[in-house]
Structure 1
């Protein structure tokens, strides 16, 4: 069995509780309890260090443990600076310090989302006497350097990591146990529908729902696209719509069917190859190849189209989408029994703003059918 851990907000909350305890009692705690709220469960969080900085400030330090998961935040320090306040603001004020990302389209607000905000406020408010107020600044010392290894910037979060999620339990999406859970969900839905939609993550699931696709036909795959496609074929699913962020889904065009970045990447090589195939000028091919992210490369292509009234984005991404469909068909065929019907797959790729970039020919047909 895989060992489940906790999400980053839980360790931030644990560090904040330890710092607040120091301010009140001038005592260090080796362990604190955190009410996860979702799920209804109490977690015990080890505290690495607590330091009283002044009569009104203390720093708590914990260390992230997401369990048996390929998570780049594993073992990273999580700091919480807690200080007393006397102003008229909210009881628990939450701030993002060094290493916490900023949301570009929200006036650089800290990337501390709903669950993390609720978790911190609910747990800390219970420890305060009437009239007491605190400010909590969450700091991830390694956040800025770790962020360059994520797709955060593709979704408008820069200069650090996000405190996100909807639960305190870390879901080990890269472990075999989680694959079995996805397969079970797939089997249940395959018994009811002949057409299903595969979404790698929450962005795809959210956009698919907003487009009007029946939520009962949505299947989360995380990075296990290859095994899930094979399972769908074995279960007799006739059609699969692959619905994903372009920086993830384009990996399939290179024959990469487990898309976790710890195992394989190849995005810039895949994108560059398709740029060359449709005749993009050499200087721009070089620019695409040296772009730090797939999103940055897309923005460069969009800039070219805007300046020159060209159509590079559509040409290149249409080629990528059709290649994805071809590689998926080859992959399913290579893992199927002779004479078995082959699941038909189409693809839809969207950008960081959850705007659809392109639909393959089959993807367009399936999306029209589903909506």
Structure 2
């Protein structure tokens, strides 16, 4: 995860807001012959931002406008992407039809807000585009009967760095956003992706998923279980967001895989494992070592240790099963959050990917 910069952060715009602005400009140009630049749109909460056009084109019956996405100070993979909307008039009373152009994905698995076979344009962006088309049609005397094709020229490559392939969204990115606004480092998009991953797993009737803190722990869990790719939930540091959603949308079994230090935080009740939002409780770990019979020198050294890896190494050198104890305590904390609705296993790994502790399903 990128480091949050110091000082005030600049907000940005979602792909849904950019697609809506591009659609508005293209439709107005279709009706009037003039591309409005900049183009103003209304967001769901009433804000009215303006967007400069980066692309405009007429090709027969099709009119295309484009907006370059500005994600503000958020480390968004789609920052700088060109969002294109091509509109074509349809027959009377046809309504709107949405199509996925180049770089926009198509939904292939159940469990997402959009059914399989549909372009990955989420409900709120669809509603925003519908409302802006209706408003422009009323203003200029046109009909809101259109085929709207959203494209992102580099979207297929960008999508490889998102959850889309794992969620069964193939061919490109999704058009997302519920407010139209990107709040930098809000983590809401990551947590929403965790929720969608669980939804897809449930709709596919999986009885076992794995939530992992990173690629090392995910690779380790893959060696333990032959699970499909979409059974792996990239929870990152947001174990609390995953567990709370599973409490309300349970799956029978969950394996949590993570590095020793992050799981030691979970073992003390932390639900956000990011280093900027929770710290390793060295006093608690020292107490666990005392339970395991550690000598006073190691206990004191643990209280001032620099890293979790250092603590683990010292414990292992003395044959103390600290990894096992951390895994069990982490499992107990996670099980309390899901209120017994999910059987949970925890597997702790060192930095090389070796298992240093495992607490089986409870």
Q: Same fold (TM over 0.5)?
A: yes
Following the alignment from structure 2 to structure 1, what is the Cα–Cα distance between the partners of residues 264 and 17?
A: 43
* TM-align CA RMSD: 4.1
Aligned partner (choices 46, 53, 57) of residue 59 of structure 2: 53
| TM-aligned CA deviation for residue 87 of structure 1 | 4.6
Cα gap change, 1:113 to 1:200, in 2 (>3 Å): closer
Following the alignment from structure 1 to structure 2, what is the Cα–Cα distance between the partners of residues 165 and 116?
A: 7
| TM-aligned CA deviation for residue 93 of structure 1 | 2.6
Aligned partner (choices 85, 88, 95) of residue 83 of structure 1: 88
8 A Cα contact 1:29 1:50, kept in partner:
no
Q: Per-residue displacement from partner, 1:24-48 (whole Å, max 9, x unpaired)?
A: 2222333100111x21110101101
8 A Cα contact 1:102 1:109, kept in partner:
yes
| TM-aligned CA deviation for residue 161 of structure 1 | 0.9
Number of residue-to-residue matches in the alignment:
251
8 A Cα contact 2:94 2:146, kept in partner:
no
Q: Per-residue displacement from partner, 1:137-182 (whole Å, max 9, x unpaired)?
A: 111111111111101122221211111221111121x2xxx48xx9
Cα gap change, 1:207 to 1:86, in 2 (>3 Å): closer
| TM-aligned CA deviation for residue 320 of structure 1 | 2.5
Is residue 219 of structure 2 the alignment partner of residue 272 of structure 1? yes
3-state SS in 2 of match to 1:16: helix
What residue is the counterpart of 2:336 in the other structure? 365
What residue is the counterpart of 2:97 in the other structure? 93
Is residue 149 of structure 2 the alignment partner of residue 137 of structure 1? yes
8 A Cα contact 2:156 2:172, kept in partner:
yes
What residue is the counterpart of 1:250 in the other structure? 212
| TM-aligned CA deviation for residue 337 of structure 1 | 7.9
What residue is the counterpart of 2:23 in the other structure? 16
8 A Cα contact 1:26 1:52, kept in partner:
no
Cα gap change, 1:275 to 1:33, in 2 (>3 Å): closer
Aligned partner (choices 4, 9, 25) of residue 32 of structure 2: 25
8 A Cα contact 2:212 2:256, kept in partner:
no
Cα gap change, 1:319 to 1:33, in 2 (>3 Å): closer
Q: Structure 1 regions of 5+ residues with no counterpart?
A: 183-198, 209-244, 252-265, 299-313, 343-358
What residue is the counterpart of 1:121 in the other structure? 130
3-state SS in 1 of match to 2:129: helix
Aligned partner (choices 192, 197, 206) of residue 202 of structure 1: 192
Is residue 79 of structure 2 the alignment partner of residue 70 of structure 1? no
Aligned partner (choices 150, 172, 182) of residue 170 of structure 1: 182
| TM-aligned CA deviation for residue 340 of structure 1 | 11
Question: What's the TM-score once normalised by structure 1's chain length?
Answer: 0.57
Higher Rg of the two aligned structures: 2
Q: Structure 2 regions of 5+ residues with no counterpart?
A: 1-7, 110-114, 199-207, 234-251, 271-277, 288-329, 343-362
3-state SS in 2 of match to 1:107: coil
| TM-aligned CA deviation for residue 275 of structure 1 | 5.3
Cα gap change, 1:63 to 1:57, in 2 (>3 Å): same
Is residue 119 of structure 2 the alignment partner of residue 110 of structure 1? yes
| TM-aligned CA deviation for residue 297 of structure 1 | 7.2
Is residue 162 of structure 2 the alignment partner of residue 150 of structure 1? yes
